[in-house]
Structures are given as C-alpha cells and as structure tokens.
Amino acid sequence: QVAIQLNDTHPALAIPELMRILVDTEKLSWEKAWDIVVRTCAYTNHTVLPEALERWPIDLFKTLLPRHLDIIYEINRRHLERISKLYPGDNDRLRRMSLIEEGDAKKINMAHLCIVGSHAVNGVARIHSEIIKNTVFKDFYDIDPEKFQNKTNGITPRRWLVMCNPGLAEVIAERIGENYICDLDQLKGLLDFVDDDAFIRDVAKVKQESKMKFAAYLEEQYKVKINPSSLFDVQVKRIHEYKRQLLNCLHIITLYNRRIKKEPKKSWTPRTIMIGGKAAPGYHTAKMIIKLITSIGEVVNNDPVVGDNLKVIFLENYRVTLAEKGEMRRMITTCCPMFILKAVTLGQGTIGTMDGANVEMAEEAGEENLFIFGMRVEDVEALDKKGYDAVSYYKRIPELKEAMDQISGGAFSPTQPDLFKDLVNLLMHHDRFKVFADYEDYIRCQEKVDTLYKNPKEWTRKVIRNIAGCGKFSSDRTISQYAKEIWGVEPSLEKIA
C-alpha cells in the first residue's frame, strides 16, 4: 500500500507523473489509472496567500515536460466536463475551477491540480481549514465536501523538548515522570504544580541558564553584547509582508522613542528583540524589510543612552537550533502552528493575533495565558467591507505618525533619506495586511508583557500553564490522524531497527 502526501503545491507533479507511469508504462486504462492516483494522493495546504499557490507557465511544460502537459490537459478536460454537468451554463465557475489559467501567458494552477487529483485535502489549523473551505477553495468544497478536513499541526516532543531543552525536560520529568515524552497529554499534570514555589524556581532557573548560553553565543557570533536578564523577544519566520515584521519594526521604534526621547529615566523592562528569517531571492520588499530591521538596530544599539535597556538583532542564517533560547515568541499575523508550538513547548510565551493555531492554543491553555491582540476574523471582514484607510490611522495616532515620519525622513538611513520610501508607500497606500489597524492594540499588549515580566513568579506560572496546555499539539497525534483518516492505515508501535 502506498500513500503520497503532497506537502503544499511544490510536489504537484506527482499526479501527472504517476498517471504517466500507470498509463504509458503499465498500460492501464485512463479510468483505472486515475482511480489509483486519486486514492494514492492527498494534498496538504499550508497557506491561503494567492502568491503562494503556485502557477507554473505552460511554456515551461511544453519545453521540459510535454507528456505531462498532455496528461494535465486531459485531467482538466474531464474535470471541466464533470463541472459542466453539475452546473450547466455556468461558464464563470468553469473558469474559476479550471486547472488552466488563461491570459497572455497561460499557466497551470497547481493547487487546483492537487485538489482534483487527491482524495483528501487538509489545512493545518482548524480556522485555516475553515477558510479554505469557505473562501479559497469554496467551489471545490461545494462539489466534494467529503474531501476536505483539518489536521492541526504538531511538533515532536523528543526533538523540541528532550533534545532542545534537556534541563526543562528533566524538571518536568521530576514532577510527572517521563511518560509524557510519548504521551504529551500528560503535561496537563503540571497544572498541579503551578503554585509550587520549588517548581516555579526550577523552571525559571532552566530558562535563565539557556538565555545566558545564548547571550554568550550572540556575543561570539554577532559581536553584540546583550543583557541576559532582559526579555528575549523573538520573531522568526520567512520575511514577508503578511508576516508583518513591519509591525514589529514600528513597535521597536516606539519603544526607542519612549525610552530614550521621552522617559529615559523610567524603570523600563530591558528587552532584546531578535528577528530571524530569510527573504525569497527576487522579493525586493522582503529585502528592504531586512534592511530596515538592521538599520533600526544600528541606531538603537549604538545609542549610548540606551545601554542594556533595548537591543535589536537580526539573526543572520537563522536555524531552528537557536529557537530554544527565547522568552517571548511573536506570531503576529497568520496561521503558523509549528513555530507557536515549538515556542510553547520550550517554555516561551506567545504574543499573537487570534488566528491559526493560536485559536486552538487559547482553547487548550486558556486565552488569559496567551498575549492576544488585534483584529479577529470578523473584524477583518468588517474592515474589508468598510475599506481600510491607512492614512487615517497615521493622522490619528501620534506615536505611529512619529515612527513613520522617522522612517520616511531618514532617521534610520541618514546617508540615504529616501531609502525606505517604497516601504513607507506600501504601508500608507498598498498594505493588504493592515499593519496600522493593529498598531495600537499591539503596543498595549506589549505593555502587558512588560508589566508581567517584572513579576518573575507570575510570568513563570503563565509559562507553566502554557506548557501544560500543549499536549494536543504533539506530532504523534497529528501523524496518527493522517494515518487513520487520510492514508487508511493503523499506526504501528513497532520499533524501527
């Protein structure tokens, strides 16, 4: 028995390639081959961004894979024939659901190919799966609702707790035993120790030891000396407009303005802000976001008045082995379960919008134990209907205006004052992801973070509650659901030699 899980649209060619093998090499009829392909393949969608749902040029297929193109054309012909019978005369629906997108340069919609050629389609968080059913792939859901399901992502506790943070794993095992490593639901037992002063001290000690090691690493690798007792504030994901690193930048500038210009003598919570991620080679905006981050860092880190109160570091060549060292993990935009879960399992707090896996984390750990800010789904929908006007926020919010004026005026690029004009224009006039709309609430939420961090005991109790609530998010559960509900096999407990 064979199952092929198409992890996003990148491996979509598996569908026409398997058809080619079965029809051309094995001499099966089209109908028999197609039945095998559909029962073999399943598709996991990871994002609803249109630009991430790949569209490959037909000219490329003509040159490199002409036989595969013939097969895709035939798949599409039969697919549209079925749609025509279900919705006679609905040419607009045919256009929307076709595998072939017409235009000056014809393209193949690889997501549509994945859906048509698979027996199951899933998102990776419950709210994400609802979005693909109700909006992105609604036409396909209408005709094949049984195909669509959800598989909330998980992480392996062996990798992300036992290996990454053995000190924390040991402290947990001393209280609830070691069986939680293979049954993450047992972490709920930590709730019995949320008021245990000794356990609170042990967890805080382990976290501080990791931070001190990481501070030494940063000094060695990045030549930046940081305060290991500061709040480690980490945002790691690919650099992209929809990941809203720009909201992070505006927060940093606001902190800098408050702490240095307005109230330098106030007792602020020391904060080390780290941003990591990579930009696609041809994505100019993402590269300019990185440039803005590093430029802000140069100004902040070299201001003698700041001292250890605020540091900004862009983690070049970021890799997952660094992730265990953080204190706060930002998920400020989008469905991104894996990073949230790794953060929580490692004993980090999470600040984020109420979407993606944050919704399910809030259900498991309690919304009061996450730092939630910003618009909900219904708020975004209402704002879309009303019309998002970034300039109105800019005019109404003095601190936002000040930060934007600094960026546009060259405060962080004195030798090239217009360096960030494209980013300013994007935020002011073409921002699909509504950064300004969440700015005020994000600043307020970060103030709550600062306040709680000054109370180490309460901070650690919140961390413990988060860890106790992440049992649902084990990859063991995720893989078991894939096996039973998509691949049609029972999980095996056999050890692999």
**pLDDT (tens digit, 9 = 90+) per residue, 90-130?**
999 999 999 999 988 999 999 999 999 999 999 999 999 99
To the nearest 10°, report the CA torsion of 248, 252, 254, 257: -170
Give residue 345's pLDDT: 52
Tokens matching residue 229: 């007792």
Give ∠ CA 368-371-373 in degrees, rounded to 5: 110
- pTM, rounded to two decimals: 0.86
Q: Is the per-residue pLDDT at 237 higher than 90?
A: no
Question: Out of 57-66, 291-300, 336-345, 389-398, which region has the weakest mean confidence (pLDDT)?
Answer: 336-345
Q: Is the per-residue pLDDT at 310 higher than 50?
A: yes
Is 355 buried (19+), middle (13-18) or exposed (0-12) by CB count in 10 A? buried
Pairwise CA distance, residues 402 & 255, whole Å: 12
What mean pLDDT is predicted for residues 366-394?
93
CATH architecture of structural domain 157-480: 3-Layer(aba) Sandwich (3.40)
Pairwise CA distance, residues 395 & 151, whole Å: 43
Q: Name which of 184, 141, 143 is nearest 161 in CA terms.
A: 184
Tokens matching residue 104: 């000056």
Give residue 337's pLDDT: 43
Could you tell me if 245 and 239 are in contact, meaning their C-beta atoms sit under 8 angstroms apart?
A: yes
| Helix ranges (DSSP H) in 325-454 | 337-345, 357-365, 377-386, 390-396, 398-409, 421-429, 435-453
Pairwise CA distance, residues 343 & 205, whole Å: 17
Q: Is the per-residue pLDDT at 336 higher than 50?
A: no
Q: Is the per-residue pLDDT at 20 higher than 90?
A: yes
Which amino acid would we find at residue 115?
I
**Cβ atoms within 10 A of the Cβ of 25, count?**
8
Give residue 1's pLDDT: 82
- Mean pLDDT over each residue of the chain, to the nearest integer: 91
Q: Is the per-residue pLDDT at 325 higher than 70?
A: no
Task: Tell me the per-residue pLDDT of 435-468, one tens digit each, with 9 for 90 and over.
Answer: 999 999 999 999 999 999 999 999 999 999 999 9
What mean pLDDT is predicted for residues 123-146?
96
Reported as a pLDDT band with limits 50, 70 and 90, residue 48 is confident
| Helix ranges (DSSP H) in 146-232 | 157, 166-176, 197-222
Residue range(s) occupied by CATH 3.40.50.2000 in the chain: 157-480
What mean pLDDT is predicted for residues 223-244?
90
Reported as a pLDDT band with limits 50, 70 and 90, residue 346 is low
Reported as a pLDDT band with limits 50, 70 and 90, residue 155 is confident
